[in-house]
Amino acid sequence: MTDILMPALSPTMEEGTLAKWLVKKGDTVSAGDVIAEIETDKATMEVEAVDEGVVEEILVEAGTEGVKVNAPIARLSGGVEAKAPEPKPAKEAAPEAAPAKAERPAKAEPAPAKASPAKTPGGERIFASPLARRIAEQKGLDLAAIEGSGPHGRIIERDVKDAKPGAKPATTTATTPSERRGETRPVQSLQQMGIPEGSYELIPLDGMRKTVARRMTDSFRDVPHFPLTIDLEIDRLLESRGRINKMLEKDGVKVSVNDIILKACAVALMRVPEANASYSPEGIALHHHADIAMAVAVEGGLITPIVRKCETKGLAQIAQETKDLAERARTRKLKPEEFQGGTFSVSNLGMFGIKSFGSIINEPQGAILSVGAGTKQPVVRGDQLAIATVMSVTMTCDHRVVDGATGARWLEAFKALIEEPLAMIV
């Protein structure tokens, strides 16, 4: 017998929804056959069978929510190894992240009846392949003491094969994540905070909301950030956009103000490369290209599709890409590489009339630009008053990477490009 396990579709995934079974009890499956669909916070995934065999039992019914990673979901006869099958994108959606692939053993081994994720004393889940877990159990190894060399630090076969039994974690003092972060205030219910039960409607958190909440909380708490705000005059930009769109009208392409902002961000990052950076424990990463992520509101949260190598692309190409990315983001049809990573983000709420705001940094990026609405305002030119269309932007910087002087130099370069768009092609 071989247990089919709930796969981990990303390093942070702990549970998911088994949306649909595409096989039933008694069906014969081969390696590579799509057997089920799993919903994550960002996408729907197709799950392939890794081994061939006959479906002996469906352990988790279709539509079941909160299925823990590595929990058995079905059982095959005639299989070789109980491990999480490798997923692939569904036709109607895209995966949240590519899973780490477990190694196949040299010979058949009996599968354990149950598989549950190992955890550290503090309650954090340890990411390891099913084969690595089984070898560790057989050798009496403590997975918490082993450093993984697989994708995202996942523990794989080679990490445990030569490890010695009896190894202990570096520290034996168990602390919770909250204690390590210095949090002291317990989470209180609304009733404990004075809001009576029955006076509100509670909307349960879906996967995307939970992920956004966790990532933004982590970033706001852990990243030492600060804002830099400047005003830009965008009358020349608006005039240039009108001329550009007249030229592109025959091709059916329409360039938006946001497209021009993305291009200006990319060019400015090339002129001030110190701002195109990410912090890591190993050092500061200076990126070769400006991969600009743009915030797109979707049902239940937001997602940030990326225009790769934005500095190398013309406005027509950027306009076509952003339109396509935004449309597929709203229907959750993006591929993982289209929304993961990026070196810099842009969040534009100007179309909603927001004049000025500050965004939370999208780790591991070193900065994010918040774009407000352009409004007619009085400005002073020399000793004369004039009317100009003014737009406020705020750059939120990770102080570990982008200090005040670097952020100011980047904004200076960005301002010059926005106020004279022709400078982008010089």
- Other C-beta atoms closer than 10 Å to the C-beta of 129 total 24
Distance CA 367, CA 94 (A): 27
Rounded-to-integer distance, Cα 342 and Cα 292, Å: 6
**What is the per-residue burial (b if ≥16 Cβ within 10 Å, else e) of 8-45?**
bbbeebeebbbbebebeeeeebeeebbbbbbbbbbbbb
Calculate the CA 103 to chain-centre distance: 26
Cβ-based neighbours of 144, under 8 Å, separated by 6 or more: 118, 120, 121, 126, 169
149 Cβ contact partners less than 8 Å away, ≥ 6 residues apart: 155, 156, 158, 159
φ, ψ of residue 155 in degrees (nearest 5):
-80, 125
> Do β-strands 367-381 and 344-348 pair in parallel, antiparallel, or remain unpaired?
parallel
Q: Name the nearest CA neighbour of 351 among 312, 322, 382, 391.
A: 391
3-state DSSP call for residue 151? Answer: helix
Backbone CA torsion sign across 163, 9, 89, 304? negative
Where helices occur in 272-381 by DSSP H, the ranges are: 315-330
Report the catalytic residues.
399
Cα(178)–Cα(407) distance, rounded to whole angstroms?
A: 32
CB–CB of 265/292 below 8 Å? yes
Residue 293 to residue 314: CA distance in whole angstroms: 17
